[in-house]
Structure formats: structure tokens, C-alpha cells
Structure 1
Amino acid sequence: MSTASPALRPVSNGLSTTDYGLYAVTVMAWGFSWVAMKGQVATVPAEVSVFWRFVLAAAIMMAWARYRGHGLSFGFRDHLRFAGLGALIFSTNFTLFYYGAASLPSGLLAVIFSTASIFNLFLGLVLFGQRPSLMALGAGSLGFAGIGLMFLPKLTGTEFNSGAALGLAFCVGGTLSFCLGNMLSADTQRRGIGVTPATAWGMVYGMIFLGLFSAVRGHSFAPEWSLGYLGGLTYLAVVASVIAFASYLTLLGRIGSARAGYATVLFPVVALTVSTVFEGYQWTPLAAAGLVCVLGGNLMMLRAR
């Protein structure tokens, strides 16, 4: 990972070998992370599991930043930005998805998260007054219709109870939090702050917020001392947090948020495949059609920008 800020590199029309490599790492790391997340919520409160995830991830990122020679001293305003990243991406986003994981299959969590590019459309309209094109509106409608089709079997059956509805709401909230953090991250890079130190500090602040939140709720900080839990925690901290986020945020700075969003289109396919194998996720014609709509809507959205 270069010490130069990705924001200082011109965004080219084509993708380099490095860009494709960053895509592959991001897609595979996040694709397998959802099923690992399911194993973190059985016996330990979600916020405590996320806390320990970022204790480990933040320590690794800080050590990596030092090793690579990144400066870690920043002014007060920069730390406000890092705190914002910690609040939006490295605490709220993850905690809400962990809550959702208690009642939804891991593959569906990934599909909901993949609509991040569609949510960005509405955030751009609300926050910046950016009027979407007709193609973008069509893409958003197609994506949300796909989510509806994937959840329709639950809506019409006995599986969709209040817990599943709450899980869906948590995941939608987590996606919105991630999208807001994306915008803040891109702006931070444009100001010349490198991905590595920003991510390291963001994880530190996320860890602090999660620790405070867990303490206020009166939770024990004891993890589950099982091989499955600790193995999943290590994967989520090292691979899905440090490696995947560094890859994705670097990609964001290199080629822009629109094309970087293709990663969120591809990893649900990996996640649903994993969920089918390990969780026995049951495919229906409606679910398959819904996935096609979600992926198609995301692809249309990225081409519409």
C-alpha cells in the first residue's frame, strides 16, 4: 500500500491490474465475512463482539501505519473526521448488521448491504440536492423491487415475524450508516489524508464508541472462548476489516466511488453461495429473480453516474 494519498492520483478511464486485484480481495473477503458474522452473535452481545473485532483491527492498522512510515499526528478537525468514520463505518454500521444477523440468513445481509450504491442516490439528493437521472431512478426502483422479491417468501409465509422485520430494519440502517461514512471517507482522501492513517484512527474511535456503548448497557466484555468464535473474530478483524477495508477504500480513492461500488455488487453472489452451502439457504424462483433485480439495479446505477 503506497504512502501517497490515493486522492492525489488521477482517476483513469481503465482499470489496472492493481485495481482488479483490489476488487478480488474486497469481494472475497467480504463475501465470506457474513457467515462468519453469524457465529459472533449467538452467545455474546453484538456490540461486544464488534468491540473486540476493532480492538484487534485497530491495533493491526496502527502497527501497519507505523511500519509503512505514515504520520499519525493530526489536528483537531482531522480527528473530528476520524471520529465520524468511527461512528458511521466502524461502529454503527457493523453493530446494526450484527443485530440483523441474529434473525436473517447471512446471504440476505449481504444482499441488503449491496444496495449501498442505490442508497447513495437518495443521500445525494437529500444532502447535496443532486437530481438523479431517469436511469438512476429506474435502477433504484429495480434494486428495491429485488429486495422485495427476495423477502416475499418470508412476507407471505410464517417465517417473517417481528424479529425478521426488525433485522431488515437494522440492516437498512447499517447500510445508510456505511453510505454516509463512504462520503466522509472520500472527502477525507480528497483533503490529502491517506487511507491507512484515516482507517487506523477511524477504527480506534469506533472501538472507543463501542466500548462506551457496551459499558453503558452493562454488558460483560468477556468473549466466547471457543475455537469457532475466536477463529471467526480473527477472520473478521484481520481479513474482513483490515485487509478488505484498506483494499476497498484504496480502490475508492483510485477509481472513484461509482466504479468502486462494483465490489458491493459482486460479493453478495459469494455470500449467498456460502450461505447456501453452510446455512442451507433455500432458493426459490422469486429469490433468484430478486437477486437478478438487485444486481441489475446496482449495475444500472453505476453506469448512470
Structure 2
Amino acid sequence: MQPHHPRTDGPLGPRDLVLYAICILIFGTGWFPLKLQLGVVAPEVSGLWRFLIAALAMLAFTLATGGRIAFGWRDHVLFAALGTTLFSANFLSFYYAGYHLPSGLMSVIFSLSAILIPVFSALFLGVRLRRQVLGGAAAGIIGLALVFGPSLADGRGIHGAGEGLALGLAGTVFFALGSLLTGVAGRRGYSIASLTMWGFTYGCVVLLAVALIRGAAFTVEWTPRYLGSFAMLVVVQTLAGFPVYNMLVRRIGANRAGYGTVLFPLVALALSTLFEDYHWTLTAAAGVALVLVGVLMVLRQPKAQVPAPPPL
């Protein structure tokens, strides 16, 4: 395995921007299908089916491309941590938050990972916090508050907001920690296919354990609504999304890759405009503009020689 150090400073190249755009589109469109999954099947079981299919598909791809399957126990500790944070606990938290919060609000909570990732990088990896990252992320969060603030103020569509907020914040923390572990894995030089396959596998183990503990029924809802949203989550968000995100983290670091989460709610908002009759206001438009300013603050960082964090 060849260690790889991401480019954490300087302008993004064309390939980085393409990967950024793909991540934003993939994960920004995943909140509404997640809501469609709720109902008959327990969230942990839906997640189990999702990552079981994804793990088998990635195993087949890894074998077909001659990728590495066998690893030592220290590698599996990292894979298990990644599977727990990024491929099970993160999703399970947001599945259950979906019972209490609309999809747009969940995406707003999730965007806080843009701030949590740099903070966790500083706490756990010794990475220096950059003012451009924090300033841009803060601008993005304030902009999103302007976009969604009016609907939150009068409580439209929100039931059990306290519990939903706690679950959403927990899911965001798990995602931020998983993003850091993805960066650590990148520095160790794992292939994207091997890393993703084992992450999916351990995610399945965690979700299976939760389902057994809760006594959930291992069923499937045979309706177009459930099966259609399930197919989109498996194929687009899981099989396509996470390898692309892992690649982006490997190229530019978890801090800058994580800021893309600030833009996810804008995609969700666009879907609401098309399918849920969302009405734009001047306040919302101002919020969108502020989010874009935050994007420029983060992506147009000056070149600087900053030592890469030590491999763990």
C-alpha cells in the first residue's frame, strides 16, 4: 500500500471540482428517498438490506478487478470503526430523525459537519484550524439559517423537534468522525474498492446487531415507493456516492471535502421547489447568496506549505 497525502491547500483542479459536484448532487438528492423508506420496515433493517447489497456488489467488483481482500487485524480495526461511524450509526441516526423532522431540516443539521470536521481534525489529528475554513463554513450555516429559518420559526412540518434534532446531531458527529477515518485510511494507501467493501461489511454487522437487539422483523415493503427509493439509495447514494466521496477526501482532505455538506441542503431545497411546492422568498435568496460566498471563501484558499498530519 502506498501512503497518500491529500492536497489541503491551494486551488482545486478540474477533477477536484468535478468530484465535488458529483458528491453534492448525489448526497443532496438522498434525503427525500430516505424519508420514503420510513413506514413498514424498521430503519435498521432497511439499512441492513441497503449495505448488504452494496457490500456484495463491492466484493464482486474488488474480486473482478484483482483488488486486495485479506488484511491484518489492525486494518480491520480501522475498517470496523469506519463501518460503525460512516456506514451504520450515521444513517441509523438520520433514519430515526426522519420520523420527527422534514428532509430539508435534516440536511441543514447534517451541514454542520462542515464545521465539525475541521474541529475534530484539530482535536484528534493536530491539524491547524484555518480561518478561511471556519469563516466559510460559518457563512454557509448562517445562509442556511436564512433559507430555512422562517419555516422553523412557525414550526411548520416539525413534530418532536427536540428528539429529531438530537438524533440528527448524533448522525452528523458520526459522519464527521467517519470522514476523518477516511482520511486516515487514504494516508495508509488502501484502494477505494477494498476500503469501501470492508466499510460496508462492518456497517452490515452493526445494523444486524441493532436489528437483533431491537427484535426488528426482517421484512421488505413490496411497494413502488419503498423499492424505488431503496434502489436509488443503494445504487446512487451508496455504490456511487461513497467511493466518489472517499476519492475526494483522499485528494483534498476531509476538511475541504466536508464543506460540500453545506451545499447538500440547497439541492434538497431545489427538489422541494419542484416536487413539494416550496416558495422562494427574499430571505431565502439572501441565504443562498451567503452560502455561495462561504463556498468561495473555502475553495479559494491561498497556497501555503502546511505539514500533512502524521499517519496514524
TM-score band by shorter chain is 0.7 to 0.9
Task: Name the aligned partner's letter for residue 189 of structure 1.
Answer: G
The 3 A distance-change label for structure 1 pair 162 and 262 is closer
1:302 CA drift (Å): 4.7
Distance 1:295 1:11, change over 3 A: closer
**How far did 1:251 drift?**
1.9
Which of 77, 81, 85 is the equivalent residue of 1:84?
81
TM-score of the aligned structures, taking structure 1 as reference length: 0.86
1:173 aligned residue: 170
How many residues get paired? 302
- After superposition, give the CA deviation of every residue in 1:220-263 in whole Å (9 maximum; x if it has no partner): 11021112211211110111101111111112212333443454
What's 1:277 paired with?
A: 274
**1:7 and 2:10 matched:** no
Cross-structure match for 2:307 = none
Describe the shift of the 1:99–1:5 C-alpha distance in structure 2 as closer, same or farther (beyond 3 A).
farther
1:62 correspondence with 2:59: yes
Cα displacement (A) at 1:15: 5.0
1:182 and 2:179 are equivalent in the alignment: yes
CA distance in 2, matches of 1:20, 1:129: 27
**1:99 counterpart residue number:** 96
Within 2, Cα distance between the matches of 1:172 and 1:264? 14
Query: CA contact under 8 A between 2:115 and 2:134: conserved in structure 1?
Result: no
Given the alignment, which residue of 237, 241, 259 partners 2:234? Answer: 237
2:205 to 204, 208, 211: 208
The change in CA–CA distance for 1:114 and 1:5 in structure 2 (over 3 A counts) is farther
- What is the rounded CA distance, in whole Å, between the counterparts of 2:10 and 2:134 in structure 1? 25
Stretch moving more, 206-215 or 263-272 = 263-272
CA contact (8 A) 2:146 2:283 kept: yes
Q: Could you tell which deviates more after superposition, 271-280 or 260-269?
A: 260-269
Instruction: After TM superposition, list the pairs within 5 Å mapping 1:22-37 onto structure 2.
Output: 22-37=19-34
RMSD: 2.9
Q: CA deviation at 1:181?
A: 0.6
Of 196-205 and 170-179, the range deviating more from structure 2: 170-179
The one-letter amino acid of 1:190's match is R
Unaligned runs of 5+ residues in structure 2 are 303-312
Taking a change above 3 Å as real, the CA distance of residues 178 and 270 of structure 1, as seen in their structure-2 partners, is same
Q: 1:137 Cα deviation (Å)?
A: 4.3
In 1: Cα distance, 2:67 partner to 2:169 partner: 35
> Offset at 1:279?
2.5
- Say whether the 8 Å CA contact 2:118–2:129 is kept in structure 1: yes
Cα 1:136–1:294, aligned 2, differ >3 Å: closer, same or farther? same
**2:41 aligned to 38, 44, 60, which one?**
44
Label 1:19 to 1:215 Cα distance change in 2 as closer, same or farther (>3 A): same
Aligned sequence identity (%): 41
Contact residue 50 and residue 95 of structure 1 kept, 8 A: yes
The answer to which of 190-199 and 26-35 deviates more is 26-35
Change (3 A) 1:43 1:295: farther
Unpaired segments ≥5 residues, structure 1: none
Aligned pairs for 1:125-204 within 5 A: 125-128=122-125, 130=127, 132-159=129-156, 163-204=160-201
Say whether 1:224 aligns with 2:221.
Answer: yes
Moved more, 32-41 or 248-257: 248-257
Q: Which amino acid aligns with 1:246?
A: P
Task: Give the direction of change, closer, same or farther, for the CA distance of 1:233–1:160 in structure 2 (3 Å limit).
Answer: closer
Measured in 1, the distance between the counterparts of 2:66 and 2:221 equals 36
Deviates more, 1:14-23 or 1:104-113: 14-23
**Is structure 2 residue 214 aligned with structure 1 residue 246?**
no
Distance 1:145 1:185, change over 3 A: same
SS in 2 for 1:7: coil
| CA distance, structure 2, for counterparts of residue 190 and residue 304 of structure 1 | 22
